[in-house]
A = this chain, B = another copy of it.
Amino acid sequence: MKKLIIDVDTGVDDAMALLHCIGQSKAGTEVLAITCVNGNVGLDRVLRNTLRTLQYADKSNIPVYRGAVKPLIPWKTEGATHFHGNDGLGDAKWDTPDDISLIQSEHAVHALIRLVKEHPGEITLVTLAPLTNIALALQLDETFSSNLKEVMIMGGNIEGKGNVSLSAEFNFHVDPEAAAIVLQDLKCPVTMVTWETCIHSTISEEDYEKLLLIQTPRAEFFRKISDNRQHLISSKKKLNPGFRSCDWFAAMVLFDESLCLEYISAHASVELQGRFTRGQMVVDWLGRWSDMPNVKIAMRLDRARLLTTMRDFLSQE
């Protein structure tokens, strides 16, 4: 039984993660709020993609909040539209227009602060996006961190392998200062699913294609928003082989931590200065510089069970 706030920059994998979290309601999970932030696409598209996903799931009653429009210290970051489509959600066609009147007037950061104050010790914060909103909440409210129950972060590195720059992961690279603030100031239990965690847990192209064949509305939605992927692959851009859905992977681990085969607790920081490494997460693996772990890192996931979980989820009507 979890009370969730989910911070997103809805792209394809955020959308699947949202559905996955929402889909756990029978198990008593409640999504209190979805907070949006600039990331994969601009904030306005993130909001629309989030509303679109909730509409599909018939959960438009979950409040959606508008957060930060840009990183603390913006540098040029290669966008993620090549991956998620120009609209961030596969450039699919939809029958109904977005109802942007559903967006709350309260700022996402204020909603985060208020909700955590209202439910001290109860809220699980799930961050699937650049950490700007979370950094601002931490900066504005000293009690924010200690009132959280736990945090699941999709982001960061464990092997200095970049997906958006030579050595940094997208969510951290877009707002490295925010990531640094979050790693430094969060005092509750923090679990991380990093980029390399996902790389080490890649689904084969064959298994992925089988997922696309499932005939349920949910699988249909997945297929629709994933359509850009085929263009991407045929474009011959240099990509890691196989399929992974980082935000969805993180959501699955959140509800079943046994999906992760190995966790390591350690102290992690973010490089803010490097010419090549800005935004890279650095970890003190042996505890030589700090004996105070601040994160529990999911090192690699059980691919077979991950695949089963995805298949089961998509097969449910």
Chain A residues near B (Cβ < 8 Å): 68-69, 72-73, 107, 109, 132, 135-136, 139-142, 157-161, 166-167, 177, 180-181, 238-240, 269, 271-278, 280, 282-289
CB within 8 Å for A160 and B72 given contacts A107-B140, A271-B277, A276-B271:
no
Number of copies: 4
Q: Tell me the minimal C-beta distance from A83 to chain B in angstroms.
A: 13
Give the docked Cα–Cα distance between A136 and B109 (Å): 11
Identify which of B157, B240, B274, B286 contacts A271 (C-beta below 8 A): B274
Give the docked Cα–Cα distance between A275 and B277 (Å): 10
Give the docked Cα–Cα distance between A156 and B241 (Å): 26
List residues of chain B with CB within 8 A of the CB of A160. 157, 159-160, 167, 277, 280, 282
Q: Tell me the minimal C-beta distance from A158 to chain B in angstroms.
A: 8
Nearest B residue to A288, CB-CB: B238
List residues of chain B with CB within 8 A of the CB of A284. 166
6 additional A-B residue pairs with CB within 8 Å, beyond A238-B286, A272-B273, A273-B275? A72-B135, A132-B139, A166-B284, A167-B271, A238-B288, A274-B274
24 A-B contact pairs sorted by A residue (CB < 8 Å): A72-B72, A72-B135, A72-B139, A73-B181, A73-B272, A107-B140, A109-B140, A136-B139, A157-B160, A159-B161, A160-B277, A161-B285, A166-B284, A167-B277, A238-B286, A239-B286, A240-B286, A271-B274, A272-B273, A273-B276, A274-B277, A274-B278, A276-B282, A277-B282
Give the docked Cα–Cα distance between A18 and B110 (Å): 30
Identify which of B109, B158, B287 contacts A238 (C-beta below 8 A): B287
Give the docked Cα–Cα distance between A180 and B74 (Å): 10
